[in-house]
Amino acid sequence: MFTYYSPVFRNIMQTCTLYTPLKRVAVKTEMEWGISHTEAQLLNASRAIVPSMRHDLYKGKAGRIGVIGGSFEYTGAPYFSAISALRVGCDLSHVFCPRDAAPVIKSYSPELIVHPVLDDGNALELIKPWLPRLHVLVIGPGLGRDPSILETVCDIIQFCRDEAEYGKQLVIDADGLFMVTQNPEIIRNYPRGVILTPNAIEFSRLAKSVLDKEWEPTPNPDPERVKALAVALGTNIVVLHKGAADVISDGVTVVTCVSGGSGRRCGGQGDLLSGSLGTFYCWAGLRTARDTSEQVLPFPPPIVAAYAAARLTRECNQRAVTKAGRSTLTTDMLEEIHSAFEALFEN
């Protein structure tokens, strides 16, 4: 299998390159394609995992996502993540949070199903009955670093690992990544698949914890470093390093997303990414379950899901900044999900 990546970070006119074990072959630049040839392939693969809206489907068939996060200080992050999952197109979105965060999160939207259980001494037992109903867990938005909460979340992940019928695909972001730096073994070789979504600082901390490497944070992710982290974490792990270009690797394949985006970075943007990724990851899994042919997608399904979420988030950001400039907030980006989704995946 070959690895492909586009080393385009400061200048979109740089040449994309196809790497094989034997030779390096130049291909057209992004400017010549409009986007890179591989980004075009990834975009087409992303469209292939989007389910059609058919009359014979019932509620839940297009995805049921659970967000594990929230805290007294951070109630916006789990809301942004859970509502983004819904806006992208999943049918049901749950939030599992501490009791004092629940009323605030509930007040943001009647669309979310909010469970005030995460700080309960019996949290795992209270969450267990819901796990079979969910396709993907998004872990970390607004979670905070309370040791007892992090221990509970580790217990949930371990339970999903040990009990096959409860196994879930995981998206881990924010303080969930801090949890991984403290205990990388909790996700190493996780059987159902994990996608990590670190920013530059979070990636640097993961590299120190997992690889014992002192890599300085950079807005221009190094594809080989992203690949190395994914390899070190074992099978079924994908790393999506957010940056000027988003770099995605499962330890074998490496791709980049350079399209869209802007210089505006607003708090909550990563939560939009994690929630939308939860939905795309669910859809990729459902598509794979429907058709086990190796030719279904030209890239591994988790790579496609990660690319789709990154591309959508960057498009939402670009559209929002066009209207609001420096004043752009994540709430502005949420309003762009529908139009951006239609333009990218349905037209």
24 belongs to an annotated ligand binding site: no
DSSP 123-177: HHHHHGGGGGG-SEEEE-TT----HHHHHHHHHHHHHHHH-GGG--EEEE-THHH
204 belongs to an annotated ligand binding site: yes
The rounded distance, in Å, linking the Cα atoms of 347 and 341 is: 9
Q: Which two tokens stand for residue 205?
A: 């901390």
266 belongs to an annotated ligand binding site: yes
Pairing of strands 24-26, 136-139: unpaired
202 belongs to an annotated ligand binding site: yes
270 belongs to an annotated ligand binding site: yes
Q: Identify the H or E element spanning 65.
A: strand 64-68
271 belongs to an annotated ligand binding site: yes
205 belongs to an annotated ligand binding site: yes
234 belongs to an annotated ligand binding site: no
Pairing of strands 246-249, 254-257: antiparallel
318 belongs to an annotated ligand binding site: no
242 belongs to an annotated ligand binding site: yes
Residue labelled with tokens 């004092």 = 100
10 belongs to an annotated ligand binding site: no
65 belongs to an annotated ligand binding site: no
Do 314 and 242 form a contact (C-beta atoms < 8 A)? no
The rounded distance, in Å, linking the Cα atoms of 154 and 137 is: 13
Q: Which two tokens stand for residue 230?
A: 């994914």
167 belongs to an annotated ligand binding site: no
263 belongs to an annotated ligand binding site: yes
| DSSP, res 342 | I
Do 230 and 250 form a contact (C-beta atoms < 8 A)? yes
69 belongs to an annotated ligand binding site: no
278 belongs to an annotated ligand binding site: no
User: Binding site: which residues?
Assistant: 142, 199-205, 242-246, 261-271
User: Binding site for ATP: which residues?
Assistant: 242-246, 261-270
User: Binding site for (6S)-NADPHX: which residues?
Assistant: 142, 199-205, 271
